Structure 1
Amino acid sequence: MRFLGIGDTHDLAAMYLGLAQRGHDVRVFVRDPDYHDVFAGLLDRTDDWQQELGWLREAGDDGIALFESASDGATQDALRREGFHAIGGSAFGDRLEADREFGQAVLRSIGLHTAASHRFADHATAIAFIHERPARYVLKLNGADAVRTRNYVGVAPDGLDVIALLAHYARSSATAASASPQGNGQDRDDFVLMEYLEGVEVGVGGYFNGHAFLSPACIDFEHKRFFPGDLGELTGEMGTIVSYQWSQRLFDTVLAPLAPVLRDGGYCGYINVNLIANESGLWPLEFTSRFGYPGFAICEALHADPWETIFSAMVQRSALHFRTHPGFAAGVVLTVPPFPYRHGYAELSRGLPIHLRSTLSRDDRAALHFAEVALHGGHLVTSGTTGYVGVATGIGDTPGRANAQALRVAQGVVVPNLRYRRDIGERLELGGEWERLQRLGWLG
């Protein structure tokens, strides 16, 4: 088969490498020049993906374009109209993720209750709003490419911590605007304040082939904060527990009713809805209208069928089921300084050698999914812009055993100043979240 990967930052590099190692032809386009060295020496990169379309079309049904981000949906729609197979999303899907108000409205249209959410275009108005309605809020930026570290889950019951952060963002924006000869140089502020909801955070996701979902769906439990114990800033994701079991009721309630909407929106790819479950019901928070990172690698640990089988079934609509393993998969994200930020990466960590201990078996090495790395002189080194080295995965019949396996794999990676969380899944198994979801009846 032939696969053309298209994205900004080479997020699916580990998937592409697996496809290439299994004998498929893979070419990759990376839009951001700062990521051109990611997987250098490991994969073939093209400077113009459109020049590869003839090569892709020659493969017929065996040619697939894989899109990584929720910002190229209109391009995917156009390619499908021209007869190409494209997996990733659609323009409609991009809007579901980037425009939080629109996404919440779609979720309400299928009968789900949503938390109160208020959209703002400037910090001062948001600050005045909290003063008038003191409460605990969650600050989320709109836009699929928004910086996740600037999102914030409020702690103070009167919202004073969110006010302080908004005031800081306002000062930073003003300083940046005064320093730039063209003004701010950024898009206008665009964010929401969402009512804080107590409960268990869980996601449900599945692959949609343009007409229907493939089964099974997966459930996931993300750990977004930098430090163990859920301390520190939101990073996007530091680790996750995934399972393809126990997802049926969440799928029936959340994803299945979305099928007609996605069909009308031309969607084809993975889609996930993040939720809060509590005694008052099920509350959807946001869409992920693309592959999840590092979710795709963690899900892969439970796949009995390889990606190419799943993708072929999607574009040819030849099957609505793929084979998976029972139990849980854990993913532990491996980073070096200054992750989750970019500043100082060249001085601190870029170009560091990556050593794999001899204790790692062949299967252990297959459980490592590298991200910002390159092959120089026959040796792996860190590359890219943030110090996101990759993710170690493990599987087990409980979240704790899956995490222990992932940690054993992670300990086989030696890089100066390597950091990762060791508590992935603890709050699920030991903190009572799994038991609470069972009691609420969501683990069908």
Structure 2
Amino acid sequence: MKVLVIGSGGREHVLAKKCSTSELVDKVFVIPGNDAMTEVATIVSDIDETDHKLIRDFVVKHEIEWVIIGPEQPLIDGLTDELEQTNAKVFGPNKQAAQLEGSKEFAKKIMEKYNIPTAEYQTITDKDKAKKYVEQCKIPIVLKKDGLAAGKGVIVALTRDEAREGVETLYQTQNEKVVFEEFLDGEEYSVMTFVNNEFAVPFDCIAQDHKRAYDGDIGPNTGGMGAYCPVPHISDDILKETNEKIAQPIADALVSEGINYFGLIYIGAILTEDGPKVIEFNARFGDPEAQVLLTRLDSDFIEILEKVYKKEPITLEWKDESVVGVVLASKGYPGSYDKGHLVEGLEDLNQYFVSALKKNDKGQYENNGGRVMIAIGMGDDIESAQQDAYNQVSKIKSNQLFYRKDIAHKAIKANK
């Protein structure tokens, strides 16, 4: 069979690699891909992921059987709806269903209606009202831009001054839609769930992301600076409770709303004193969680998708090793940064998943975005996997990249 992966980042790199190892797959294409993916797929760089008609024509011409959509924007923009006109099976929700990620307010309203545990919230669409609200609301407070923001539209305001600054940052015009949420305290974790309407199968291995830019969980929110799995200090009972209170209920809620959902739901959860609650939903794999989870996953990925499609029982098989991934990002990220700086040391691409590298005229890699790559380490436990990951990081030479030095620190601390 032929498989097409949509996207160009590290998440799509690992998806292409998993598909390439499937016994069911003869050929993997990636649109538009990046220069580091050529070992695992055929890169189709002359089609943009925003050009839905050209992608549809490609699917028809090459008789693609499975299309896997990696990033959120094509889902929000309705690429699945376009491809449903072909004979291909599409892993990724349609435009209506993708609102679960595309609109914070939409997700909040569904959780409220169906009693899915989450933070209390208020939506404010007027900047002046927002200014008044932050003068009297409970602090800390979380501000979330309603639409997509690549992981950077969330501000956790620990002081009233930070809340005021958050209003100035997120209200680019007088009438923006911003969701103000109660601050939840606890341990965050990520649960990926395969969903085919009421059929929901959460991963029985969870990951933990590191959202803040700098060591010690300080600095601005990012799309993720590293992740690891499993998360030994969050028990199987908590995962079971997350499934019973969140994963299955959100699948059932979407069915009740008349929404057809086929794809993956990412549950960004937090373990509070009152149990698991939802921080956010994504309509696709998390990045960088996908890179560590799919590295640890031992099952045939396409075989799993076929079973989700047919609503057949699924048992996920996992490697015994722990996995740690450390993101290397361009200096200045998540703010402005320079591109075009040499990145050397990538002789063995098996240890990395690449998001933003591009080859120059001399065939040398240069940084081409914010989060540039993730270095993957494996070991018998989290600590040895962490050591392996930072060993891979040390092989990368560039004067333009930075990374956190404490990825997986919570798991290591909890085990001591």
* Same fold by TM-score greater than 0.5: yes
Matched, 1:345 2:338: yes
Larger mean CA deviation between 331-340 and 223-232 belongs to 331-340
AA in 2 matched with 1:166: V
Asked whether the 8 Å contact 1:38–1:384 carries over to 2, the reply is no
2-side partners of 1:369 and 1:331: how far apart? 9
Given residue 17 of structure 2, which amino acid in structure 1 is its aligned partner? G
Match of 1:84 in 2: 88
Aligned residue for 2:344? 354
Quote the Cα distance in structure 1 between the aligned partners of 2:55 and 2:275: 48
Q: Which residue of 2 aligns with 1:15?
A: 14
Partner of 1:180: none
1:338 CA displacement:
3.0
CA distance in 2, matches of 1:12, 1:219: 16
**Distance in 2 between residues matched to 1:81 and 1:317, nearest whole Å:** 22
Aligned counterpart in structure 2 of residue 28 of structure 1, from 22, 27, 30: 30
Distance 1:167 1:217 in 2: 41
**Cross-structure match for 1:5:** 5
Q: Answer whether contact 1:112 1:282 (CA < 8 A) is retained.
A: no
What does the per-residue CA deviation read over 1:12-47, in whole Å, with 9 as the maximum and x for residues that have no partner? Answer: 4413652686574333334xxxxx866597722242
Name 1:289's counterpart in structure 2: 283
Instruction: Kindly state the Cα deviation for residue 285 of structure 1 after the two structures are TM-superposed.
Output: 1.5
Counterpart for residue 298 of structure 2: 304
- Quote the offset at 1:194 in angstroms: 0.8
Determine the structure 1 residue equivalent to 2:354. 370
Give the letter for the 2:338 counterpart.
Y
- Using a 3 Å threshold, how does the CA distance of structure 1 residues 129 and 410 change in structure 2: closer, same or farther? same
Q: What displacement does 1:293 show?
A: 1.2
Take 2:274 and 2:393, find their aligned partners in 1: how far apart are those partners?
39
Contact 1:269 1:291 in 2 (8 A): no
Distance 2:357 2:282 in 1: 25
TM-score of the two chains, using structure 2 as the length reference = 0.83
Within the alignment, does 1:118 sit opposite 2:122 as a pair? yes
C-alpha separation between the residues in 1 aligned to 2:167 and 2:202? 42
1:202 Cα deviation from its structure 2 partner:
2.0
The corresponding residue for 1:239 is 226
Counterpart for residue 267 of structure 1:
261
Correspondence for 1:148 = 151
Q: 1:10 to 1:405 in 2, by over 3 A?
A: closer
1:423 aligned residue (406, 410, 413): 406
Q: 1:203 aligns with which of 175, 185, 190?
A: 190
User: Could you tell me how far apart the structure 1 residues matched to 2:351 and 2:274 are?
Assistant: 39
Contact 2:12 2:70 in 1 (8 A): no
The verdict on how the C-alpha distance between 1:254 and 1:312 changes in structure 2, with shifts beyond 3 A counting, is same
Cα distance between partner residues in 2 of 1:366 and 1:419: 21
Measured in 2, the distance between the counterparts of 1:378 and 1:25 equals 29
Q: Cα deviation per residue 1:67-86 (whole Å; 9 max; x = unaligned)?
A: 12334253313533654311
Give CA deviations for 1:329-374 in whole Å, capped at 9, x if unaligned: 2211012323223x3413xxx14142247xxxx6xx4231111113
Equivalent pair of 1:104/1:285 in contact (CA under 8 Å): no
Tell me the TM-score normalized by structure 1. 0.78
Once residues 334 and 35 of structure 2 are traced to their aligned partners in structure 1, the CA distance between those partners, rounded to angstroms, is: 17
Is 1:160 the equivalent of 2:161?
Answer: yes
- Asked if structure 2 preserves the Cα contact closer than 8 Å seen for 1:206 and 1:218, the reply is no
Residue deviations 1:288-327 (CA, integer Å, cap 9, x gap): 1112112211112211124333334334555523322245
Letter in 2 for 1:409: Q
Count the aligned residue pairs: 398
Equivalences for residues 321-332 of structure 1 within 5 A: 321-326=315-320, 328-332=322-326
**Does the 8 A contact of 2:343 with 2:366 survive in 1?**
yes
Q: Distance in 1 between matches of 2:12 and 2:266?
A: 21
Contact 2:92 2:263 in 1 (8 A): yes
The SS at the match of 2:200 is coil
Equivalent residue letter for 1:259: A
Partners in 2 of 1:59 and 1:168 — Cα distance?
45
1:400 maps to a residue whose letter is E
Equivalent-residue separation in structure 2 for 1:229 and 1:272 (angstroms): 25
- What's the secondary structure of 1:28's corresponding residue? strand
Question: Is this contact kept in 1: 2:4–2:68, CA < 8 A?
Answer: yes
Q: Is the 8 A contact 1:243 1:326 kept in 2?
A: no
Q: Distance in 2 between matches of 1:280 and 1:16?
A: 35
Task: State the identity %.
Answer: 20
* 2:3 partner amino acid: F
Shift of 1:196: 1.0
Q: Which residue of 2 aligns with 1:392?
A: 375
Name the CA shift for 1:46/1:367 in 2 (closer, same or farther; >3 Å).
Answer: same
Q: Deviations over 1:73-113 (max 9, x none)?
A: 53313533654311122224321112222212322344333
The separation in 2 between residues aligned to 1:402 and 1:109, in whole angstroms, is: 42
Task: Give 1:382's aligned residue.
Answer: 366
User: After the TM superposition, which of the residue ranges 117-126 and 377-386 deviates more from structure 2?
Assistant: 377-386
Measured in 1, the distance between the counterparts of 2:299 and 2:211 equals: 28
Q: Does 1:93 align with 2:97?
A: yes
Instruction: Select which of 388, 396, 409 maps to 1:413.
Output: 396
